C-alpha cells in the first residue's frame, strides 16, 4: 500500500506540468505494477488534444525533466504517519 502511495506522489509533477497553448488534457491514468518482492513499476499517462503539430509538441516538451524521488523526504510521507 505504501508503494502505491509513493508511486502516485512520484507522478504528480508530471500531471502538474503545464500544457502548451491550444492544448487540453482529456484524460489521465496511473498504472502501478507489482512484482512481488522485486519491486514495482509506474506508468503515468496524460491524454491530450492539441491544435499544435507533433513537431511543435515535441519541441515544447523536449527539455522537460522531473525530480527524482527521495524516500526520506517529507514529500512522500503521509502527514503524521512516520513520526
53: which DSSP letter? -
- The predicted-structure confidence for 26-59, as pLDDT tens digits, reads as follows 999 988 887 767 677 888 999 999 999 999 999 9
Query: How far, in Å, CA of 2 to CA of 33, rounded?
Result: 13
Task: Look at the pTM and tell me if it is higher than 0.85.
Answer: no
Q: Give the domain ranges of the chain.
A: 2-75
Whether 65 shows a pLDDT value over 60: the answer reads: yes
Residue 41 phi/psi, 5-degree rounding, is: -130, 160
| pLDDT number for residue 7 | 74
Amino acid at each position: 500500500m505504501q508503494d502505491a502511495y509513493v508511486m502516485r506522489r512520484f507522478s504528480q509533477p508530471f500531471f502538474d506540468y503545464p500544457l502548451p497553448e491550444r492544448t487540453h488534457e482529456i484524460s489521465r491514468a496511473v498504472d502501478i505494477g507489482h512484482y512481488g518482492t522485486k519491486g514495482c513499476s509506474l506508468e503515468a499517462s496524460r491524454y491530450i488534444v492539441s491544435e499544435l503539430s507533433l513537431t511543435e509538441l515535441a519541441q515544447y516538451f523536449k527539455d522537460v525533466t522531473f525530480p527524482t524521488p527521495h524516500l526520506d523526504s517529507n514529500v512522500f510521507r503521509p502527514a503524521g504517519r512516520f513520526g
